Amino acid sequence: MFGLFKKKLQKLVDNLSGKVEEKVEKPEEKIPEEIVAEKPQKTSLFKKIAEKVKKSVIEKTLTSEEVTEVLNDFENDLIEADVAVEVAEKIKLDLINALVGKTIKRGKLKETVDDSLRKSLLEILSVPKINLEEILAKKKPATLLFLGFNGAGKTTSLAKLAKFLMNGGHSCVFAAADTFRAASIEQLEEHAGRIGVQVIKHRYGADPAAVIYDAIEYAKAHGIDFVLADSAGRAHTNVNLMDQMKKIIRVDKPDLKILVIDSLTGNDAILQARMFNEVGVDAVIFTKVDVNEKGGAILSVTHELKKPILFIGLGQEYENVEQFNAENFVQNILS
């Protein structure tokens, strides 16, 4: 995954390497004969002279002009990898601050760039964490409302999270609150049947807030830990569905509003994040991360919302989901 991001990073390192090596001769393995003749190899004077010769040909201090020229190109590469403009600008400025005026040794450039990028990316991903166990400890049942565009993998992600919770010893019930899209209830029931979860549903066209309310009451009566509520896919052009979402939040007061985004969506991901944040987003799940060559949407959405990524989807099976780890994500990009 993130192959394109890695290629752009290598291009950056290669371009900067050109600046480091520009007008600098490669170090000779052999010390000049006149130096060797002047003093025995083990004398302190020889060591000083040898080190001076070596240093003069393998180090260079990068200027602002040299770094900025390369990083302007890198900024465009980041945008091509689905990194939002403001995020790409931040990363570029972080690198400029880390590199300008620094003496870079031959062979140490990638390490220097990696360290700066790692710090910059982790800063973007440094947001408050969410612990589902702590939410459940405060309120049982805990209600998790899933939001997102049609086709983002919302219903499948809901089922995957339910399976994850059940593997941890928790009980779940589904609320079929997508009463708008044809076959949505049947799709949710198919997932529920496979993992052994009860579905609370009404007819198509029913009030979604009422469906979730009934699911919460069912969970209370049966001692169930989590209510996972599906919802209709929404677009900013559909005012009625957005108003419906606001009613769900007002009536059912979900404990966590989870936005599901297809990681392959590209720059539209940040537009989706902004739109759904009008009703409030608490956490994000990214799908199809295993086949994502770019990775920029994850950085952009986190920077925009300042909310944690709860899970990432890595395949079709219910077990193909894992909790997001910022350190692992950054390491994957830089490796």
pTM, 2 dp: 0.84
At position 187, the amino acid (one-letter code) is Q
Give per-residue pLDDT as tens, 114-171. 888 899 999 999 999 999 999 999 999 999 999 998 889 999 999 999 999 999 999 9
Residue 42: per-residue pLDDT: 44
Give per-residue pLDDT as tens, 222-267. 999 999 999 988 665 567 778 888 999 999 999 999 999 999 988 8
Helix, strand and coil content of the chain, in percent to the nearest 5, comes to 55, 15, 30
Domain with CATH 3.40.50.300 in the chain: 132-334
Strands (E), the chain: 59-61, 103-105, 142-147, 172-175, 198-200, 226-229, 256-262, 283-287, 309-313, 321-323
Q: Of the given ranges (61-65, 171-175, 247-251), which has the lowest mean pLDDT?
A: 61-65
Residue 35: per-residue pLDDT: 47
Domain with CATH 1.20.120.140 in the chain: 3-124
Residue 32: per-residue pLDDT: 54
Q: In the beta sheet, which residues pair with residue 322?
A: 312
Token pair 């499948």 is found at 156
Cα separation, 335 vs 329, whole angstroms: 10
At residue 320, does pLDDT exceed 80? yes
Give per-residue pLDDT as tens, 288-297. 999 887 788 9
Q: What are phi and psi of 32, to 5 degrees?
A: -50, 140
* Of residues 277, 283, 266, 242, the one with CA closest to residue 80: 266
> What value does the mean pLDDT take over residues 207-232?
97
- Most confident of the ranges 93-97, 109-113, 256-260: 256-260
Per-residue tokens: 61: 């201090």
Classify domain 3-124 at the CATH topology level: Four Helix Bundle (Hemerythrin (Met), subunit A) (1.20.120)
Distance between alpha carbon 166 and the CA centroid of its chain, in Å? 25
Would you tell me which CATH number, out of the four given (3.40.50.620, 3.40.50.700, 1.20.140.10, 3.40.50.300), belongs to the domain 132-334? 3.40.50.300
Per-residue tokens: 87: 């995020």
